[in-house]
Structure 1
C-alpha cells in the first residue's frame, strides 16, 4: 500500500475538497476545521479510506440492521455547520453525540472562549464519543448521557443548538435553553420528509432562514409519525403525522382500483432534484403524506411512485394520489401523478397543479415558524406576500409553513 497516497492527511484533504465541490464548507472557519480534525480517530474500527469517504460510517446497529448511531456523511456535516454559523466564544449544545467528531469540530469553531456540550441517550454511544474526544485533545467537551429531548439545563443558555439526530418535535426545554437571537439547526421531520432547518429565535418563535434535504437516524421516544400498509401484500406503506386523519383501513385495496393518470408538462433532467414539490405542497395541502413502495410492487406495476422509497402523496378518505414520473424521450423525464379511488382524479390533478407552481420558481423555499404548543393563532406572524399556509400540530410545538 502506498502510505503517502493513503495517509490520513491526504485523504482528509481530498474529503474537504469534495465537500467544497458539493457547495458546502462555504465558511473559511468550517473548511479549516474540517481540514484539521482527524475524523479517522473517531471511527477507529473503519478503514482509513472509509473514514474519509463521503459516506456515513455506522458505529452501532439494531438487531434488525437499522442504524442506531453513526458518523454522518461529511457533506451533510459541513452543510449543517454552515447553517449553524458558529462564532468564537459561543456556548453550544449538540443533541446526538455520535462518535464525538461533530463535537470536536464545534469545539474548534467556538474556540477556547466557548463551550460545547453533547448529549446522547445511549451510554455506549457517549462512552465512545468520550474516548474519541479525549484522544484528540478535546477533554473540555462536556459529554452527558441523557434523553436528548431534555437538553442540558446545567450548561444553558446556549447561543447555538444543533441536532445530529432526526427530530419530529421540539420540547419546551429548547425554548428555555436557547438564548434570545440564538440559532438552532435540526433535521426536522414533517409530512414524511426531513429537512435540515436553521432557525433563529425571535421571542417565542423559531424562524427559519435556510433548509436543505437530509436524512438522519431518528431521535428515540418521539411517536408523532404513523405508518400503515394499504395493500394485501404489505408492499406499499404510507407515513403521516398524528394531526392528520388518514386511515389506512379505508385505503386498504385502493391500489386495485382503476388508475387516474395525469401529467404536468413539467420536465426534469437526470440530475435535477424535484423534492421541492414535496416541500411546497406540505405548506399548501393538509393531506400531504409519504408513500414508500417495495421493489416487488413496482415490478408488478401495483404502485410506481417517482422515487420508490420516498415520494409525496395526497390521501383523502378512501382515495389516494402520488407523484409519478415518465421518460420524455429527449433525456428528460416528465412529472405527473397517479390517483386511485373516488377522488383519485382530483388528487392527481392537485399534485400536477403543485408541480406546475413549483416549476415557476424551483429555488423558492417556504417560510417556517415553530412555536410552543398552546400558542394561539393570533400570535402567528404572516408576511404580506404569503399566499398559502398550513399549521402542523405536533405534541409540544406548532409548525407554521407558509408559501408565497
Structure 2
C-alpha cells in the first residue's frame, strides 16, 4: 500500500531527527541554553508524567475524529516545539517547549499504531507492518546518532542550531507523509473509548505485566554503563558495542520475529520466553563482577545476544497482545493504555537500575532478573482471561454493531 510506504519513509526521516536530538540534547540544554541540570531533569519528569496522562485521551480522540488528523496535528505541534528549543533561555521557556514535545510522543505512538491497524486487516499483516515501522525507526535513529556525533565534535552553537532545525524539518516531513496515508474507515465506539478501556480489567492487567519487559531499554542505557564502570575492569566502550549489536539485531530480525505475535496465545508464550531471555542476560552479566579478560568480554557479548532476543520477543509480544486483545472500535484508547504503561516503566527504569545494579552490584542483576520472571509468569493466564472476556462480549453483541 503506497500510503503505508509513505508513512514508513516518514518514520525513518523523523527517527533520524530523533537520533540527532537525543545525542545532543543534554549538552545543548546545559552548555548552550545554560540550564541547570536539575532544571532539565525536573522538566523532563514533568513532561513524562504529562505524556502518561495524555496517552489515553489522545488515543480516544483518534477513535472519535480519526487517527490520521490527530497524528498529523501532534506531529506539527512537536515540530513547533522542537523549533522552540532555539529560543529557550530559562526554566519557563524550557517547560513551554519540553512538555508538548515530550508529552505528545507517547500519545503519538499510540495513535500511529491505531492508524496502522485501521489500515491493515489480519494479524499477520498488522504485525509485519508494525515491525517494518520499527526497523525504519532504528535505522533512522542510528543515522541520526552518527550525525549527532559530528555535532558534538564541532561543539559550536551553529552546529546545535542546525541540528535542531533539521529535527524540526524531519517532523514536517513525517506530517506530510502521514497526509498521504488514506483515512481508515471510521468506527467510533458507542461509549467513550476511555471508559471502555479503563473498564477492561483483563486488558489492563496484560498491558501492565507486559510493560515491565520495557525495562530492557534502561538495562542498556543505565544498567550496563553503571556496571562496566563500577563493578568490572572492562572497557566502557564495550557498552557501545552492545548497543550496536542490539541495533543490528533489530534491523535484521524484527520483521521475522513479528510472526510470534500473530495470535494472543502465541504472543503470551513469546512474552514468557522474552522474560526468561532477559533474566538470563542479567544473570550472565552478574557473573562478570570484577572481570577484566576475554572471558568476561565473551560473557557480556553473550548477555547482549540474549538481550537482543529478549527485546525482539518483547516487542513482538507487546504488539500481538495489545492489538489482538483490543476492541476494534476503540483502537486509539486501547493503544493509549499500552503506551502509558510502557512510558511509566520507562520513567522509573533508570532509577531501578541505579538502585539495584549501581547500588547492589551482582545481587542487583539477580533482583532485576527476578522482576522479569515475576512479570511474565502470569501473562499466559491473564491472556486467557482477556480472550475469554472478548469472546463473551462478542457473543452478547448483535452482528453488525460495535460492542458496548
Q: Which has the higher strand share?
A: 1
Higher RCO (C-alpha 8 Å, min separation 6): 2
> TM (normalized to structure 2)?
0.24
Higher CA-based Rg: 1
Q: Which has the higher helix share?
A: 2
TM-score (norm 1): 0.24
